């Protein structure tokens, strides 16, 4: 797809699979449900920017990653060719709510939570160039121990564990 858009007051429920989303990105203003899914943000035309994630006010995303296959345990994956540029970051905006189970991978771009945006994670790993929380945004990650998660048997991620408060 060139892009995926869910308008306000709409609910979209997608079947389990990997979805490749082009430069128009994911724009969620309503409710997006997908169990057993990976969303790969990429581009169709090499001259265009890589697609980004935009979850807007009043929106809700409920994504559970697949447990097998090339993207096992990955809910959202952004192409490593994404450029870190002002104004082209991934956003979860005010008064939105999300439930995500699986890794969220933005290696070259920032993920911004602002306003009252919240995410409830279950066995989720965040990988990003930067995570930026402003306003009353927040997240929670609920699991007793890593061994209780599907990826728990694979061991811990040892490299790149850093948090910097600025």
Q: Could you report the per-residue pLDDT of 20-61, keeping only the tens digit for each?
A: 999 999 999 999 999 999 999 998 888 888 999 998 878 888
Asked if 157 and 163 touch (Cβ cutoff 8 Å), the reply is: no
Tell me what pLDDT residue 159 has: 42
Q: How many CA atoms lie within 13 A of 154 on its CB side?
A: 9
Residue 115 makes CB contacts below 8 A (sequence gap 6+) with 57, 93, 94, 95, 134, 135, 136, 137
Tell me what pLDDT residue 5 has: 95
Query: What is the rounded distance in angstroms from the CA atom of residue 87 to the CA atom of residue 85?
Result: 6
Tell me what pLDDT residue 127 has: 78
Neighbouring CB atoms inside 10 A of 43's CB total 20
Tell me what pLDDT residue 94 has: 66
* Cα dihedral 118, 161, 149, 103 sign: positive
Query: What is the rounded distance in angstroms from the CA atom of residue 82 to the CA atom of residue 111?
Result: 13
Query: What is the rounded distance in angstroms from the CA atom of residue 138 to the CA atom of residue 76?
Result: 18
Tell me what pLDDT residue 84 has: 65
Tell me what pLDDT residue 31 has: 94
Is the pTM for the entire model greater than 0.85? Answer: no
Under-50 pLDDT residues of the chain: 153-160, 166
For 113-132, b where at least 16 C-beta lie within 10 A, e where not — what string? bbbebbbbbebbbebbeebe
Q: Could you tell me the two tokens for 30? A: 């309503």
Tell me what pLDDT residue 63 has: 92
Q: Which residues pair with 139 in a beta bridge?
A: 119
Tell me what pLDDT residue 10 has: 95
Nearest Cα to Cα of residue 18 among 81, 71, 62, 55: 71
């Amino acid at each position: 797809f060139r892009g995926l858009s869910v308008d306000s007051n709409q609910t979209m429920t997608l079947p389990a699979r990997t979805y490749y989303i082009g430069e128009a990105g994911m724009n969620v203003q309503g409710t997006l449900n997908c169990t057993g899914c990976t969303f790969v943000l990429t581009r169709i035309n090499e001259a265009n920017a890589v697609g980004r994630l935009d979850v807007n006010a009043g929106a809700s995303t409920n994504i559970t990653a697949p447990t097998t296959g090339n993207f096992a345990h990955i809910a959202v994956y952004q192409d490593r060719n994404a450029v870190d540029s002002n104004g082209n970051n991934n956003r979860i905006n005010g008064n939105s709510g999300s439930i995500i189970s699986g890794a969220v991978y933005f290696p070259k771009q920032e993920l911004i939570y602002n306003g009252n945006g919240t995410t409830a994670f279950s066995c989720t790993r965040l990988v990003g160039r930067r995570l930026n929380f402003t306003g009353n945004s927040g997240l929670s990650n609920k699991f007793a121990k890593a061994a209780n998660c599907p990826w728990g048997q694979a061991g811990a991620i040892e490299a790149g564990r850093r948090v910097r408060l600025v």
